[in-house]
């Protein structure tokens, strides 16, 4: 299979995908059947570049952009496109396919509307570049400072597939590279179409001009599509995936490993990472987050002792999560030393949908005696084993139930341990216990119980079936 045939296959896939997921393909070009040497200007692109800035021509069914040494004055090419407030831009790119020895700086940039990206040849990565949100404006100035962020590493001389998913009204942009399931980065509060001091309405390629000599970049299979807002997933239409957000007690709960044993469901995991802080506080961030499509097509999400806060789970995702539950999703939260109160849930949109009220940072209490679980609904298959083994919780979150919430699993001391609440078409189930402590006496810590995995699977299945 030749490279060109491979890319043509990608374009066919993209266009068929766009037909399913998007209302309209606004612009597409794969440069097939175009005579070698044809300048891009003959394809109704506005090319503003001289021969000593950058060259835009078609060769072997690929747009080849040759960037020359002309710092900050490398020229550009742009295509007028209709206004699309919510959509996707797909393209293939081969960075430094020729002249790689000269690729020692910054050259190729591409953008859609007011969202610009560029390839940092020296550092070997793809970056986004646009004005920062209003919250970062400098006092006394009305213009946002321009900022850039590394999106992902890029190998030179290889074809990669890129996707930019944008929503102007929500101010959100997702960036993908090869893996079309999870974005490499998500930006919120983005001026997608530009504010008063900026202009959009273009698809563009440009040369920043920092090269030691001529460097050629390949572009192929461009597809701009408008999203179909009328398509809303219902619970029956959702896929069979369960997203597990692994927080601080992930080793104790083993949720991903245990849920993989569920039949007819696929598990996708996302991990919280500890990051350095200049002050003595715990700081975490998610290694990655699911994109909108992945979230919409999942059946359930499990938060495993997951801290919240803007550094870990950003506000835009919490808002998406609330909408997802309202439309039929099931959220399950597992307690621990860094969830609920210590996890900064209080006062957030997540607290608003939980079946419990968050009391404060220090809500985790040690039980005066083990809280042996006593299911009030379901778990018939495990009832005999529960009575025999006495699985228990030793440390718990001292929380109160909200009006309308119900108890799924109680304790011998009448302290609710699993509480649920229907929210819109969906449901939120919260485990107010923790995996803290060690088994002692005639009880067994619930997470060390030999039937813990089966018990967790029963919780998930019950939550999805009711």
Q: Quick one: 220 and 113 in the same domain?
A: yes
Q: Quick one: 388 and 420 in the same domain?
A: yes
Q: Can you point out the beta strands (E) in 49-124?
A: 54-59, 62-67, 76-80, 86-98, 106-112, 115-120
**CA 97 to centroid of chain Cα atoms:** 30
Q: Quick one: 339 and 456 in the same domain?
A: yes
If one counts every other C-beta atom within 10 angstroms of the C-beta of residue 237, the result is 11
pLDDT at 82: 87
Q: Quick one: 201 and 262 in the same domain?
A: no
Q: Quick one: 151 and 118 in the same domain?
A: yes
Asked if 150 and 142 touch (Cβ cutoff 8 Å), the reply is: no
Q: Quick one: 241 and 218 in the same domain?
A: no
- CATH code at position 216: 2.60.120.870
Q: Quick one: 337 and 303 in the same domain?
A: yes
DSSP code per residue over 326-388: HTT-EEEEE--TTSTTTTT-TTSHHHHHSSEE---TT-EEEEEEEEEEEESSS-GGGHHHHHH
pLDDT at 28: 93
Q: What residues in the chain have per-residue pLDDT under 70?
A: 1-23, 130-147, 194-200, 229-238, 275-282, 310, 466
- CATH code at position 376: 3.40.50.880
Q: Residue 419 pairs with which residues in a beta bridge?
A: 407, 430
DSSP H or E stretch at residue 285: strand 284-286
Q: Quick one: 121 and 180 in the same domain?
A: yes
Boundary of a domain, candidates 195, 227, 259:
227
pLDDT at 15: 43
| pTM for the full predicted model | 0.85
**CA 313 to centroid of chain Cα atoms:** 10
pLDDT at 11: 45
Boundary of a domain, candidates 227, 252, 282:
227
Q: Quick one: 247 and 221 in the same domain?
A: no
Q: Which domain holds residue 420?
A: 235-465
Q: Quick one: 11 and 90 in the same domain?
A: yes
Boundary of a domain, candidates 227, 253, 273:
227
């Amino acid at each position: 299979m030749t490279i060109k045939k491979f890319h043509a296959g990608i374009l066919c896939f993209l266009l068929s995908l766009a037909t399913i997921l998007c209302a309209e393909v606004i612009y597409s070009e794969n440069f097939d059947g175009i005579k070698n040497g044809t300048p891009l200007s003959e394809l109704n692109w506005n090319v503003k570049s001289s021969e000593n800035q950058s060259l835009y021509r078609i060769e072997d069914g690929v747009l080849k952009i040759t960037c020359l040494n002309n710092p900050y004055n490398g020229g550009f090419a742009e295509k007028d496109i209709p206004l699309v407030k919510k959509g996707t831009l797909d393209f293939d790119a081969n960075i430094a396919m020729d002249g790689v020895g000269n690729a020692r700086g910054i050259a190729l940039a591409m953008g859609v509307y007011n969202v610009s990206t560029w390839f940092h040849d020296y550092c070997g990565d793809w970056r986004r570049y646009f004005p920062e949100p209003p919250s970062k404006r400098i006092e006394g100035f009305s213009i946002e400072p321009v900022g850039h962020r590394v999106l992902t590493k890029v190998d030179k001389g290889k074809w990669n597939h890129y996707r930019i998913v944008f929503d102007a009204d929500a101010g959100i942009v997702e960036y993908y590279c090869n893996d079309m399931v999870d974005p490499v980065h998500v930006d919120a509060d983005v001026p997608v179409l530009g504010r008063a001091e900026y202009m959009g309405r273009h698809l563009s390629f440009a040369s920043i001009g920092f090269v030691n000599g001529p460097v050629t970049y390949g572009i192929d299979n461009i597809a701009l599509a408008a999203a179909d807002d009328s398509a809303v997933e219902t619970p029956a239409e959702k896929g069979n995936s369960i997203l597990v957000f692994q927080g601080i007690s992930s080793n104790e709960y083993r949720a991903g490993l245990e849920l993989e044993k569920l039949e007819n469901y696929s598990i996708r995991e996302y991990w919280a990472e500890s990051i350095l802080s200049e002050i003595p506080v715990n700081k975490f961030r998610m290694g990655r987050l699911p994109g909108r499509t992945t979230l919409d097509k999942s059946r359930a999400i499990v938060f495993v002792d997951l801290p919240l806060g803007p550094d870990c789970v950003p506000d835009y995702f919490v808002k998406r999560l609330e909408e997802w539950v309202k439309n039929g999703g099931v959220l399950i939260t597992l307690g621990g030393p860094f969830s609920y109160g210590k996890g900064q849930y209080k006062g957030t949109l997540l607290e608003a949908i939980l079946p419990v009220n968050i009391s404060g940072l220090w809500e985790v209490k040690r039980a005066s005696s083990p809280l042996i679980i006593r299911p009030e609904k379901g778990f018939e298959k495990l009832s005999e084993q529960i009575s025999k083994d006495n699985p228990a919780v030793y440390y718990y979150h001292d929380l109160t139930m909200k009006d309308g919430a119900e108890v799924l699993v109680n304790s011998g001391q009448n302290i609710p341990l699993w509480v649920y609440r229907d929210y819109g078409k969906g449901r939120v189930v919260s485990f107010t216990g923790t995996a803290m402590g060690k088994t002692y006496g005639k009880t067994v810590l619930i997470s060390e119980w030999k039937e813990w995995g089966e018990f967790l699977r029963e919780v998930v299945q019950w939550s999805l079936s009711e």
